[in-house]
A and B are shown apart, each in its own frame.
Chain A
Amino acid sequence: MTTSAPTTQPPLLEALTSAFPTEPAPLGDEVRRLLATGVPTQKHEAFRYASLRKLRSKAFDFSAPSGAVDSPDLFVCSGLENRRLVFVDGMWREELSSLQTPSQDLTWDVGPSQLATAPEHHELASSDFFENLNQLGDTPFFHLQVAEGAIIDTPIHLAFWNTSSEETYAVRRGQVRLTVGKGARISLVTSTGGQGNYLSNHHLQFELAHGAEVQHYAIQEDPEESFLFDSQHVLCSEESKYSLVAIGFGTEITRNRYRVDLLGERAIANLRGTEVLSGQREHHKVITVHHRAPHCESNQHFKTILGEKSNASYDGMIVVDQIAQKTDAFQLGANLMLSEEARIHIKPSLFIHADDVKCSHGATIGQLENEEIHYLRTRGIPHAEARRLMIYSFAAEILMEIENAPLQNQFADSFLARLIRVEDSLSPAKIS
Chain B
Amino acid sequence: MLEIKDLSISVENTPIIKNLSLTVRRGEIHAIMGPNGAGKSTLARSIMGYPGYEVNQGSVLLDDKDMTELEPEERATSGLFVSFQYPVEIPGVNNAEFLRMALNAKRNSQGLEELDPLDFDDLLTQKMDALHIDRDFKNRGLNEGFSGGEKKRNEILQMAVLDPKFAILDETDSGLDIDALRIVSSGVNQLANEQNGLILITHYQRLLNHIQPDHVHVLLDGEIVKTGGKELALELEEKGYDWLKQPSHS
Q: Is A383 an interface position by the 8 A CB rule? A: yes
Can you name the residue of chain A whose Cβ is closest to the Cβ of B99? A379
Q: Is B71 an interface position by the 8 A CB rule? A: yes
Q: Are B90 and A389 in contact (CB under 8 A)?
A: yes
In the complex, how many residues of chain B place their beta carbon closer than 8 angstroms to a beta carbon of chain A?
Answer: 29
Q: Are A377 and B73 in contact (CB under 8 A)?
A: yes
Q: Is B76 an interface position by the 8 A CB rule? A: yes
Interface residues of B in 38-85 (CB under 8 A from A): 48, 50-52, 71-73, 75-77, 81-82, 84
Choice from B52, B71, B77, B92 contacting A383 with Cβ under 8 Å: B71
Q: Is B217 an interface position by the 8 A CB rule? A: no
Choice from B81, B88, B101 contacting A385 with Cβ under 8 Å: B101
Can you name the residue of chain B whose Cβ is closest to the Cβ of A369? B88
Per-position contact with B for A309-347: 1 when CB-CB < 8 Å, else 0? 000000000000000000000000000000000000000
Which residues of chain A are within 8 angstroms of B162 by Cβ–Cβ distance? 379-380
Q: Is A62 an interface position by the 8 A CB rule? A: no
Q: Are B73 and A382 in contact (CB under 8 A)?
A: yes
Instruction: Answer whether A377 and B90 are a contact pair too, CB < 8 Å, given A370-B51, A383-B71, A385-B101.
Output: no
Q: Are A379 and B92 in contact (CB under 8 A)?
A: no
Q: Is A64 an interface position by the 8 A CB rule? A: no
CA distance A376 to B141 in the complex (A): 14
Distance between A348 CB and nearest chain B CB, rounded to angstroms: 24
Q: Are A396 and B102 in contact (CB under 8 A)?
A: no
Q: Are A380 and B77 in contact (CB under 8 A)?
A: yes
Distance between A278 CB and nearest chain B CB, rounded to angstroms: 21
Classify chain A's interface size: 20 to 34
Distance between B166 CB and nearest chain A CB, rounded to angstroms: 13
Which residues of chain B are within 8 angstroms of A383 by Cβ–Cβ distance? 71, 73
Q: Is B93 an interface position by the 8 A CB rule? A: yes
Q: Is B172 an interface position by the 8 A CB rule? A: no
CA distance A379 to B76 in the complex (A): 6
Which residues of chain A are within 8 angstroms of B88 by Cβ–Cβ distance? 371-372, 375
Distance between A408 CB and nearest chain B CB, rounded to angstroms: 11
Which residues of chain A are within 8 angstroms of B240 by Cβ–Cβ distance? none
Q: Are B105 and A380 in contact (CB under 8 A)?
A: yes
Q: Are A382 and B92 in contact (CB under 8 A)?
A: no
Q: Are A378 and B87 in contact (CB under 8 A)?
A: no
Which residues of chain B are within 8 angstroms of A389 by Cβ–Cβ distance? 90, 93, 98
Instruction: Answer whether A382 and B90 are a contact pair too, CB < 8 Å, given A374-B51, A374-B72, A377-B72.
Output: no
Q: Are A397 and B73 in contact (CB under 8 A)?
A: no
Q: Is the interface of A mostly helix, strand, loop or mixed?
A: helix
Q: Is A381 an interface position by the 8 A CB rule? A: yes
Q: Is B228 an interface position by the 8 A CB rule? A: no
Q: Is B106 an interface position by the 8 A CB rule? A: yes
Instruction: Answer whether A376 and B90 are a contact pair too, CB < 8 Å, given A381-B101, A383-B71.
Output: yes
Q: Are B73 and A381 in contact (CB under 8 A)?
A: yes
Q: Are B51 and A393 in contact (CB under 8 A)?
A: no
Q: Is B117 an interface position by the 8 A CB rule? A: no
Instruction: Answer whether A382 and B105 are a contact pair too, CB < 8 Å, given A374-B72, A375-B88.
Output: yes
Instruction: Answer whether A396 and B51 are a contact pair too, CB < 8 Å, given A377-B73, A381-B105, A382-B73.
Output: no
Distance between B222 CB and nearest chain A CB, rounded to angstroms: 22
Which residues of chain A are within 8 angstroms of B87 by Cβ–Cβ distance? 375
CA distance A376 to B87 in the complex (A): 10
Can you name the residue of chain A whose Cβ is closest to the Cβ of B161? A379
Most chain B beta-carbon contacts within 10 A, residue among A380, A392, A399: A380
CA distance A378 to B90 in the complex (A): 14
Instruction: Answer whether A380 and B91 are a contact pair too, CB < 8 Å, given A374-B50, A374-B51.
Output: no
CA distance A382 to B102 in the complex (A): 9
Interface residues of A in 156-192 (CB under 8 A from B): none
Q: Are B76 and A377 in contact (CB under 8 A)?
A: yes
Q: Are A381 and B71 in contact (CB under 8 A)?
A: no
Interface residues of A in 348-394 (CB under 8 A from B): 370-372, 374-383, 385-386, 389-390, 392-394
Q: Are B73 and A390 in contact (CB under 8 A)?
A: no
CA distance A253 to B22 in the complex (A): 59
Distance between A3 CB and nearest chain B CB, rounded to angstroms: 54
Per-position contact with B for A187-201: 1 when CB-CB < 8 Å, else 0? 000000000000000
Q: Is B158 an interface position by the 8 A CB rule? A: yes
Q: Is A400 an interface position by the 8 A CB rule? A: yes
- Other A-B contacts than A374-B72, A376-B90, 20 sampled, CB-CB below 8 A, are A370-B51, A370-B52, A375-B84, A375-B88, A375-B90, A376-B98, A378-B72, A378-B75, A378-B84, A380-B73, A380-B76, A380-B105, A381-B73, A381-B101, A381-B102, A382-B105, A383-B71, A393-B90, A399-B92, A400-B92
6 A/B residue pairs, CB under 8 Å, sorted by A: A371-B88, A374-B72, A376-B90, A380-B103, A380-B105, A395-B92
